[in-house]
Structure 1
Amino acid sequence: MQKIAIFTDSACDLTDAELNEYGIRFLPLQIIYNDSSYRDRVEISADEVYGNLEKEVPKTSLPTGTDIDALFLELKKEGYTHAIGVMISGGLSGTANSVKLMAEEYPEIETYIYDTKNLSISEGIMALKAAKMVKDGLSFEEIKEALPEEKKSVDTYYCLATLEYLIKGGRIGKVSGTIGQMLNIKPIIYVNEEGVYVTLDKARGTKQAYMKLVSILKENLEKTKCKVYVMHGGAKKEAQDMVERIKDLPGILSLEFRQISPALGVHTGRGLIGIAVERIFG
C-alpha cells in the first residue's frame, strides 16, 4: 500500500495552519546577508526581511543539504513509500533540481519532484491540491498525472512599486531601469509557462498599475468563478485597500490576503502587490 508524503518549500506562502492541516512538510530557503544566513520562516520572518531592506538587500539560496537530508530521513523513519515535492520554479531557483538529486540517495522512497514553474501562493495552491488528492485516496501515479492539468487553473500577477531592486539585482539594465524610474513606470509581471518572470504590462504610476491589476482580475472572473488572493511584500495597508476595492466583484468565491515570501520580495523590494487567481471550473 502506498503511503504518500507531500512537501514544498518556503516560497509557497502557505500558512503554518494550512501546512499542518494537510500534513505538508516544507523546506526553508536561505536568506543570506553579508555576515549571516537564516532559514526562511524558521530563523527569520518575512516582516524582518522586509523591515531590513533599507539597510541591506539579502540574497536567497536553496534549502541546505542538511535540511533536505533531514526531510528524507524523517519520511523514511515514518514509513513513507512515496513522496511528491511541489517546488518553486526551476527557472527562478535551483531548489527543485537540488532536491531531485538528494532524493536519489533514498531509493526506498519513490519521489516525484514537480516543478510548478511558479512561486508564492500559486506554488502553495498546487501543494494543497496535491495534499488533498492524497487525502482523497488518489495514487502516486494519478497525482503525478493530475498536477500539470491542475496548474492551468492558477496564475499570479504582480505590480512592482519600484525598479530599484531589479536594478541592484541585475535583473534589469541600469540605464533602462533608471529611465523607467524617472518616468514612474510600474511593471506588471507574472511567471510565464517556462517559469521565468516576464512583463505582462506597464503602467504610469501606482494608481494606474492597480487599475490594471483589477482589470486582469475582472478578465479572469468573466471566464469563470475564482478564489482570489491579494499578495503583498511589506505593503499590508495597500493589500488591505486592494481587498476592499475588489471584494464585491461578482464571481469571487473566496478572498484573502497574505504576505509574499522574501524569495520574491528581496528581488522586487517593499511595496509589491499581487493578485493570485485559482479558477474554479464546473
Structure 2
Amino acid sequence: MSYKIVIDSCGELTQEMKESGLYETASLTMQVDEYTIVDDESFDQADFLKKVADSPNCPKSSCPSPERYMKAYDCGAEHVYAVTLSAELSGSYNSAILGKNLFAEEKPEVKVYVFNSRSASIGETLIGLKIRECEEAGMTFEEVVEAVEAYIAEQNTWFVLENLDTLRKNGRLSTIKAFVATALKIKPLMGANENGEIIQLDQARGMNKALIKMVDSIIEKVENPEDRILAISHCNCPDRAQMVKEAISKRIGLKDIFIADTAGISSMYANDGGIIVVC
C-alpha cells in the first residue's frame, strides 16, 4: 500500500526523511513586527533570531490552513498520516482535522488519520519515523494508527531554555515565574503532560546544572532504552546538544540517538540556546 506522512513544520525532518519522498511539510508562518517568515526550506535561523532579539514585540505564529492540509492529503497515496504539534499549543491539529473532513467528502476512498503529537519539534520527527516503521512492517492502516497512538502515549518530552520570553509573552508561563527565573538565573526543566500541556519538572541555578537534571530525569524515566530512539533538537547551540547526547549515551544504551537543528516554529519557542529532548 502506498502511504504519505505529512508533518507540520514544527517537526524537524532529517535529510534522509526529506530525500525519501515519503514526507511532506505543512508550513506554519511566523510574524516578527512587519516581517512574515514562512517556516520552510527558505527559513534563515540566524536572521530570524536577530529579528526576534531586536524586536520589543513577541513573535507570533499562524498554523497551516485546512486547504493546505487538503492539498497535502491529495497526493495519490492510499494511506495518509498527518502529525501536528500539540493541540494545546497550536491550532495546527484542528486545522488538519478540518482538512481531513473536507477531503473525505471529495475522496472518501483515501484513508487519512491525524496524530496529535502532544509534543512538538523533534517529538513529531520521531512519530513520523514510527509511522514509517509500522508501514514498512506491513501493518494495516488501523494497526498503524493503534501502534503509533500507543507510542505517543509512552513518549516523553524534556526541554531547557536559555530564554523564557517567548513562552511568557505567549501565555505559556506565568509572568512572575518567568521574571523570577530570569532574575535569579534559574533555568526550569520543562516537559509535557499526557495532554501535551507544558509543565515544569524541576529547576536549577544555571544552564549546565539544569541540563544535568534533564539528563538525570531522562535516565530515570526511559524504560527499555535498547528499544527506543532518542532525539535532541537545539536552537543554535550544537556543542550543547552534543554534550547532552554524550552524557546520555554514557549512562544508557539506546537503539539510536540523533541531533537536529530546530526549524522555524521550534526556534521561535526554544529561542537562542534552547535544548529539546524526546524519547
**TM-score class, shorter:** 0.7 to 0.9
SS of the aligned residue for 1:131 comes to helix
Query: Following TM superposition, by how much is the alpha carbon of 1:23 offset from its aligned partner in structure 2, in angstroms?
Result: 0.7
Number of matched residues?
A: 272
CA distance in 2, matches of 1:164, 1:188: 15
State the Cα deviation string for residues 69-98 of structure 1 (Å, max 9, x = none): 43234x1xx3x3332212211111111111
The unaligned stretches of length 5 or more in structure 1 are 278-282
Equivalence for 1:13 = 12
The unaligned stretches of length 5 or more in structure 2 are none
Query: Structure 1 residues 201 and 52 mapped into 2: Cα distance closer, same or farther (>3 Å)?
Result: same
Q: Is the 8 A contact 1:10 1:26 kept in 2?
A: yes
CA distance in 2, matches of 1:137, 1:85: 19
More off after superposition, 46-55 vs 153-162 = 46-55
Query: Structure 1 residues 184 and 268 mapped into 2: Cα distance closer, same or farther (>3 Å)?
Result: same
CA distance in 2, matches of 1:234, 1:202: 22
Q: Is the 8 A contact 1:221 1:252 kept in 2?
A: no
Query: Following TM superposition, by how much is the alpha carbon of 1:47 offset from its aligned partner in structure 2, in angstroms?
Result: 4.1
Query: Following TM superposition, by how much is the alpha carbon of 1:265 offset from its aligned partner in structure 2, in angstroms?
Result: 3.1
Q: Is 2:105 aligned against 1:104?
A: no
The TM-score with structure 1 as length reference comes to 0.86
Two-structure CA RMSD over aligned residues (Å): 2.3
Equivalence for 1:91 = 88
Q: Is 2:250 aligned against 1:240?
A: no
Query: Following TM superposition, by how much is the alpha carbon of 1:40 offset from its aligned partner in structure 2, in angstroms?
Result: 0.7
Query: Following TM superposition, by how much is the alpha carbon of 1:180 offset from its aligned partner in structure 2, in angstroms?
Result: 2.1
Within-5 A mapping of 1:124-203: 124-203=125-204
Q: Is the 8 A contact 2:122 2:232 kept in 1?
A: no
Q: Is the 8 A contact 1:186 1:209 kept in 2?
A: yes
SS of the aligned residue for 1:105 comes to helix
Q: Is the 8 A contact 1:4 1:140 kept in 2?
A: no
Query: Structure 1 residues 174 and 156 mapped into 2: Cα distance closer, same or farther (>3 Å)?
Result: closer
State the Cα deviation string for residues 114-134 of structure 1 (Å, max 9, x = none): 112111111111111112222
Q: Is the 8 A contact 1:88 1:119 kept in 2?
A: yes
Query: Following TM superposition, by how much is the alpha carbon of 1:221 offset from its aligned partner in structure 2, in angstroms?
Result: 5.4
Within-5 A mapping of 1:26-105: 26-56=25-55, 57-73=58-74, 75=75, 78=76, 80-105=77-102
Query: Following TM superposition, by how much is the alpha carbon of 1:275 offset from its aligned partner in structure 2, in angstroms?
Result: 2.5
CA distance in 1, matches of 2:100, 2:247: 45
Equivalence for 1:280 = none
Identity of aligned residues (%): 24
Query: Structure 1 residues 222 and 105 mapped into 2: Cα distance closer, same or farther (>3 Å)?
Result: closer
Query: Structure 1 residues 175 and 219 mapped into 2: Cα distance closer, same or farther (>3 Å)?
Result: closer
Query: Structure 1 residues 16 and 28 mapped into 2: Cα distance closer, same or farther (>3 Å)?
Result: farther
CA distance in 2, matches of 1:51, 1:214: 30
Within-5 A mapping of 1:250-269: 250-269=252-271
Query: Structure 1 residues 94 and 247 mapped into 2: Cα distance closer, same or farther (>3 Å)?
Result: same
SS of the aligned residue for 2:123 comes to helix
- Amino acid in structure 2 at the alignment position of 1:87: T
SS of the aligned residue for 2:229 comes to strand
Q: Is the 8 A contact 1:117 1:195 kept in 2?
A: yes
Query: Structure 1 residues 267 and 224 mapped into 2: Cα distance closer, same or farther (>3 Å)?
Result: closer
